[in-house]
Amino acid sequence: MRYLTIREPERGLREFDGFFGGIFDDFRRSMKAFGSAFAGNELELKEEKDKYVVSGELKDYGKKDLKVTVDDNVLYVKAEKKSEDRKTKETSYSSYSRVLYLGDNADAKKITASFKKGKLSIEIPKTKEPVKKVTEVTIQ
């Protein structure tokens, strides 16, 4: 008996599917499509001496599809895209969302972002002193 390793999940699914006459073909195709829909849309966070840099490739989206916001030192990157094929009258919708906590030394008021040739870059300057919002809670 041959054992399948974790490195061969596609082959393992094919062999398993072979026992049952190909009933998992549609599932395998849909999982490949699902995986490719998220490929290349990762964000990377780098810390430099005086700033943080968030960058990533969002090749399926345009500048008008993107929205970057900051709320209480949390960075939100969202993209939404809707398209319609006039020949088949099919509508497709895709969305992308990432949330990053910036930390206490991020200057949220001076964040800049650019989007060129499918690449998003966000620069977040650091403050000299961490800005901590401490709220005292009264015990009753």
pLDDT level of residue 137 (50, 70, 90 thresholds) = confident
**66: region left, alpha or beta (phi > 0 left; psi from -120 to 50 alpha):** beta
Residue 24 has pLDDT above 60, yes or no: no
* DSSP conformational letter for 5: P
Task: For residue range 62-108, list pLDDT tens digits in order.
Answer: 899 999 998 888 889 999 988 888 888 888 888 888 888 887 888 88
* DSSP conformational letter for 84: E
Task: For residue range 36-57, list pLDDT tens digits in order.
Answer: 444 556 788 888 889 989 998 8
pTM of the model: 0.62
Q: According to the model, what pLDDT value does residue 6 have?
A: 43
Q: According to the model, what pLDDT value does residue 15 have?
A: 61
The domains found in the chain, sorted by start residue, are 1-39 (no CATH), 40-125 (2.60.40.790)
Looking at beta carbons, which pairs linking 108-113 to residues 24 or more positions away fall under 8 Å?
Answer: 108/70, 108/73, 111/68, 111/70, 111/75, 113/68
Task: For residue range 26-38, list pLDDT tens digits in order.
Answer: 655 555 544 444 4
- 3-state DSSP percent of the chain in helix, strand and coil, to 5: 20, 40, 40
